[in-house]
Amino acid sequence: MVLNFGPAGIPLDCPQRSTLEGVRYSAKIGLRAMECEFVRGVRMSEAEARIVGAEAARLGVSLSAHAPYYINCCPTDKSKEATAERNLLATAKIASALGVKTIVFHPGYRMGRDSPTCLKQAKVLLEQVLEKMRELKIKSVLLGLETVGKHAQFGNLSENCELSKALGEENTVPVVDFAHVHATREGGLKTKNDFKKIFDELERSFSSSYVKRFHSHFSEIEFSEKGERYHLPLHSKDSPPITPLLQVIKENNYAGTIICETPELERDALKMQEEWKRM
């Protein structure tokens, strides 16, 4: 049963600030995953991506990518749809060269509209992106719909399961950000049962096999009635707590990846991994 841990971005203690060195540093300290952050735009050449991808494969570091923050798959201003498509495609191209399995992004913003309206618009847009990915022969990259951290955003767990299912398991996956779920449920993740229900929903509403290859984000988080405020280091408040999550994964033989998004990145990823290994 494999559970990979890794930082969201180049490790803090990596002396050279390049993705290639970030991968090497992650491998050196014993981590098996890393998420490449393109949150402010894709600024990597395909040639560089191929070098990074080959090195990650050689070192056994599984790569994922985070697409730009400004992607909105259900904008009220239709002219902004092209921006979302362009940025998703740019990320998908680089992801393909990197050998990345999942590209993660926040699906969109509600702007006062109901869930079915947002879902319908996002589905059409993402179908177009998938069509263009096929034209470009990008086959092995999954679009990862991340659970959002604010009520004003579109893309909670059940919406992402429904949208992923509608777009096809072979194209799209729901990515659980446990901190965001915790924040939008106003501190709702405390016990093993709280975490188990999330995996049950993934199995029931998306795919029974996904719990054996899930992709996720973990951080502790400060929140208000609107949702997330800011991320906190591991074990600062145990909000949400990592231990029951790891226990649920262990007891149910789930497998996948946990990307650490705390301010301590790889330092906390290592702590999570150590706790996992002790179990």
| Interacting residues toward Zn ion by CB under 5 A | 177, 217
Residue 78 Cβ vs Zn ion, minimum distance, rounded to whole Å = 27
Nearer to Zn ion, 97 or 234 (CB): 234
Nearer to Zn ion, 9 or 75 (CB): 9
Q: Burial level of 155, CB count in 10 A (0-12/13-18/19+)?
A: buried
Are 228 and 149 in contact by the 8 Å Cβ rule? The answer is yes
Nearer to Zn ion, 101 or 217 (CB): 217
230's enclosing H/E stretch is: strand 227-232
Residue 217 Cβ vs Zn ion, minimum distance, rounded to whole Å = 3
Encode 66-80: b = buried (16+ Cβ within 10 Å), e = exposed: bbbeebbbbbeeeee
Nearer to Zn ion, 182 or 271 (CB): 182
Nearer to Zn ion, 181 or 211 (CB): 181
Nearer to Zn ion, 14 or 260 (CB): 260
How far apart are alpha carbons 117 and 14 in whole angstroms? 44
Residue 52 Cβ vs Zn ion, minimum distance, rounded to whole Å = 21
Question: In the bound complex, which residue of the shown chain has the CB atom lying closest to Zn ion?
Answer: 217
Nearer to Zn ion, 24 or 217 (CB): 217
In terms of Cα–Cα distance, which of 187, 103, 198 is closest to 145? 103
Residue 278 Cβ vs Zn ion, minimum distance, rounded to whole Å = 25
Residue 6 Cβ vs Zn ion, minimum distance, rounded to whole Å = 13
In terms of Cα–Cα distance, which of 128, 262, 107, 240 is closest to 175? 107
Residue 148 Cβ vs Zn ion, minimum distance, rounded to whole Å = 9
Residue 112 Cβ vs Zn ion, minimum distance, rounded to whole Å = 24
Tokens of 254: 């789930």
Q: How far is CA 207 from CA 129, 139, 160, 165, 222, in A?
A: 22, 20, 12, 8, 31
Q: How far is CA 127 from CA 5, 89, 209, 255, in A?
A: 31, 12, 23, 28
Beta bridge partners of 231: 221
Return the axis-axis angle of helices 46-59 and 19-28, rounded to nearest 10°: 10
